[in-house]
A = this chain, B = another copy of it.
Amino acid sequence: MDAANFIAGDWGTSHLRLFLCGSQGNVLDSRQGPGVAESGGRFAGVLSSLTSQWRERGGDLPTVLCGMVGSNIGWSQAPYVPCPAKPEQIAEACVALKNGAVHIVPGLSCRNPFGAPDFLRGEETQILGALKLVASLGKGRRLLCLPGTHTKWVVLEDGLILHFLSAPTGELFALLRDHSVLVRSQADLGAEIDSQAFDAGLVRFAEHPEAQLVHRLFECRARQLSGELTPHAARGFLSGLLVAGDADGALRALAGAGPAHSVHLIGTPDLTRLYAAALSRRGCDVREVDGAAASLAGLAQVHGWLSERVAANES
C-alpha cells in the first residue's frame, strides 16, 4: 500500500468529505462528516475525530481544506483572492492553522462582466484541479462552467483566472420546484428530470432568446392548464428554460461573438449533462469534468505547492 502523504478535505455548508491521499494524490481512504453549518463551531474536534484512525497509522499528516470552512461561518476566514488571479496565488493565500498542519484554501473575488462584485468559494479548487486534469485548459482563452446551486462561469486566459459570473440557476429551480404554483404538484414526482420535456424547454427558449426568463416561466403552468404538459414534464420543461437561459446569457456576456465556443463543464454528472445538452444545442464543443475528481486534484495541487514552499524555506 502507498504511504499516506496528506489529507484533503472538501468542507462545504452541508457536507464534509475527507480523503487520505498518497503522494500522487491517489485516494487511500475516505470519511464523510457534518457540513460547516452542522459542525457547531467544533471544526478542530470534528476533523480530529474523523481522522484519528489515519493518525494512529501514519502520524500527523498535513491537511488541506477547501469550501465554506474558510468563510465567515467556517473555521477561519480565508479572505477572497481578487481576480485576475494566478493559480499559485491561491495556494500562497492559504490560511495556516495549527502551526501549519492545516491549510484552508481561499475563495476568489472579481468584478463580473456586468460591473458587479462577485465571489466564489470551493470552485477555485475545482478550477485548479481541472487545470491539472486537462492540460490544454492552461493555454489560450478558455470558458469554464461549474453548474450548481449557484452556477459559476469562469474565464481563463493562459491559466490566469480573469473573472467569473454567478447565476443562482440551481437555487431558482429548486425554489420553483418546491414552492411555486407554476410547477407545484401534490404528487411526489421524484428528483428525476424528464429529459424529453427538458429538451422541449431548450427548444422553446431558443425560439425567443431575447426575452427575459421571467416572461417565459408562466408557460410551465399554462401548458399544464392547456393539457400539453403533465406536472412531471412541466418540471423538466422549467429546467430546460432555466439552463438554456443561463447558458445563452453567459455565452453572450463572457464568450464574445464567436460562432462556436469550447466550454469545459465541471460538476456532478447529472448537472453537467444538462448544461452539455444546452451548450451543444448552441453549437459549443463541450467537455465534462467530474467535479469531485476536480476538487481532489485541486487539493492535491495546493498540497504540492505548499510542500514545495516548505522545502524551499528549509533548504
Question: Interface of A with B (CB < 8 Å)?
Answer: 114-119, 150, 165-169, 171-172, 175-176, 179-182, 204, 207-208, 210-219, 221-223, 225-226, 228, 242, 245-246, 248-250, 252-253
The residues of B that contact A210 with a CB separation of less than 8 Å are 252
Contact partner of A212 (CB less than 8 A), chosen from B171, B175, B182, B249, is B249
Instruction: State the CA gap A220–B166 with chains docked (Å).
Output: 11
What's the minimum C-beta distance from A84 to chain B, rounded to whole angstroms? 18
> Contacts A114-B208, A167-B214 given; 11 further ones with Cβ under 8 A?
A116-B222, A117-B226, A118-B219, A119-B225, A167-B218, A179-B179, A210-B252, A214-B245, A214-B246, A215-B249, A215-B253
Whether the Cβ atoms of B211 and A249 lie closer than 8 Å is yes
Instruction: State the CA gap A119–B225 with chains docked (Å).
Output: 8
**A119, A210, A211: most-surrounded residue (chain B CB, <10 A):** A211
Whether the Cβ atoms of B116 and A166 lie closer than 8 Å is no
Number of copies: 2
Contact partner of A118 (CB less than 8 A), chosen from B212, B214, B222, is B222
14 chain-A/chain-B pairs, Cβ below 8 angstroms:
A114-B211, A114-B215, A115-B207, A117-B226, A167-B215, A167-B217, A171-B181, A172-B217, A175-B176, A175-B180, A212-B212, A212-B246, A212-B248, A215-B246
Whether the Cβ atoms of B222 and A119 lie closer than 8 Å is yes
Q: Which residue of B lies closest to A169 (CB)?
A: B214
What's the minimum C-beta distance from A101 to chain B, rounded to whole angstroms? 29
The residues of B that contact A119 with a CB separation of less than 8 Å are 221-222, 225
Instruction: State the CA gap A211–B213 with chains docked (Å).
Output: 10
The residues of B that contact A114 with a CB separation of less than 8 Å are 207-208, 211, 215-216, 219
Instruction: State the CA gap A215–B246 with chains docked (Å).
Output: 7
The residues of B that contact A169 with a CB separation of less than 8 Å are 214
Instruction: State the CA gap A165–B219 with chains docked (Å).
Output: 10
Contact partner of A117 (CB less than 8 A), chosen from B115, B216, B219, B250, is B219
Instruction: State the CA gap A214–B168 with chains docked (Å).
Output: 7
The residues of B that contact A175 with a CB separation of less than 8 Å are 175-176, 179-180
Instruction: State the CA gap A226–B107 with chains docked (Å).
Output: 14
Instruction: State the CA gap A225–B110 with chains docked (Å).
Output: 12
Whether the Cβ atoms of A168 and B182 lie closer than 8 Å is yes
Contact partner of A213 (CB less than 8 A), chosen from B180, B208, B212, is B212
